Amino acid sequence: MRVAMDATPLVLATGGLARYTAELSGALAENFPDDEFALLSDQAFPMPQPSRRNLRCGRPASNIFERRWWTWGVQWEMSRLHCDVFHGTNFEVPYAPLRPSVVTMHDLSPWMNPEWHHAADRVRRRTPRLVALRIATMILTPTEAIRGQVIESFRISSSRVIAVPLGASDVFRTVGTIDRPPYFLYAGTLEPRKNLCELIEAWRAVRNRYPVELVLAGRRRADFAEPSPEPGLQLAGEITDGDLARLYSGALAVVYPSHYEGFGLPVLEAMQCGACIFISKDAALREVAGDAGLSLDGTGAWAQAMCAAASNPEWLEGRRRASLARAREFSWARTARLTREVYEEARRRFAF
């Protein structure tokens, strides 16, 4: 099989979409050595590492017609590479259904609150048409929670929508920690949907009783209102995976208070590092974390849980063991295997 994959998410150096595209393409190439995979985009992007012989980079758009990427450019490139199926890793597939296609719908946040995605007008406008007109042959979601939302919101057959859970990179494992005062860690994009104002408020209440810090690690989006500087609050910015693994491993707890998620990849990464996990009541986060995650609602509940983490090492150790056990249920190899099955199903359906 020859598979074309949308590489546009790789333009961003960090974030869940880039991680998904890089890890999935690499796992597919590694686990299916007889297949060929091509990453295509009209923009320049770095190839995932390590390099693999059956994972290649397509040509960039070179003329005015090819720059009409989703109409013409991607079709010409797929023809040149003799691709059998296209995987849209971020809500989009080619507009003309000349080949079977699979689209990943990570969540429904673009349609839920305009303030969460200030630059998602194209997705909001075009993706429903691609789904309704069956231009996208099959649809992938990262959790059963999102699968149910997609089926209900777009009123489509449940047989077209398959939930395939993600994995965490091997770099995320329990490692030596960083010598610093006790801290709680949030890792992810800094944006309005992540509910970080409530997290900071809860942490302030905890800091009145315990000398604990709060570290916010990740890319700051332009629409994020940066908090004023105060003792103990650190905005670490974008950091390497190795440093992130050390932060996960050494945190009192990894805190993820997001209003809404499709999967919550940092939660799985943190569990794989043996971190205690506090999450919101979001359905997808609870699905991923299972019994290993402590699900919280309201500033008081967050502050109470953080106080317990700061004062009860034995309780904390039990939650860390639960995280490691839960994380072993996920892998990118499994994600690749299940995803390829969806490619085969798309080819079967397209043939009829």
Q: What is the mean pLDDT of residues 192-199?
A: 95
pLDDT tens-digit profile of 217-249? Answer: 999 988 888 898 999 999 999 999 999 999 999
User: Which of 99-103, 176-180, 291-295, 316-320 is the least confident region?
Assistant: 176-180
SS3 61: coil
Of 213 and 126, which is predicted with more confidence? 213
- C-alpha span between 245 and 177 (Å, rounded): 9
Is pLDDT of 36 > 90?
yes
- C-alpha span between 177 and 243 (Å, rounded): 9
CATH of domain 183-327: 3.40.50.2000
2-166+332-351 and 183-327 share one CATH topology? Answer: yes
Is pLDDT of 34 > 90?
yes
Is pLDDT of 62 > 80?
no
- C-alpha span between 334 and 345 (Å, rounded): 17
Q: What is the mean pLDDT of residues 96-125?
A: 83
Is pLDDT of 307 > 80?
yes
pLDDT tens-digit profile of 333-345? Answer: 999 999 999 999 9
User: Domain-by-domain residue ranges, the chain?
Assistant: 2-166+332-351, 183-327
Which CATH number is correct for 2-166+332-351, 3.30.70.260, 3.40.50.2000, 3.20.10.10, 3.40.190.10?
Answer: 3.40.50.2000
Q: In what order do the strands lie in the sheet with 2-6?
A: 55-57, 36-40, 2-6, 85-88, 101-104, 138-141, 161-163
Per-residue pLDDT at 118: 65
Per-residue pLDDT at 65: 66
pTM for the model: 0.92
Task: Share the mean pLDDT of the chain.
Answer: 93
SS3 105: coil
Per-residue pLDDT at 94: 92
Cβ-count burial of 219 within 10 angstroms (0-12 exposed, 13-18 middle, 19+ buried)? middle
Closest alpha carbon to 244 in 186, 327, 166:
186
pLDDT tens-digit profile of 139-178? Answer: 999 999 999 999 999 999 999 999 999 999 999 999 977 7
Helical (H) or strand (E) element with 254: strand 253-256
Per-residue pLDDT at 222: 85
- C-alpha span between 55 and 28 (Å, rounded): 9
Per-residue pLDDT at 180: 86
User: Which of 12-16, 95-99, 259-263 is the least confident region?
Assistant: 12-16
112 — pLDDT class (breaks 50, 70, 90): confident
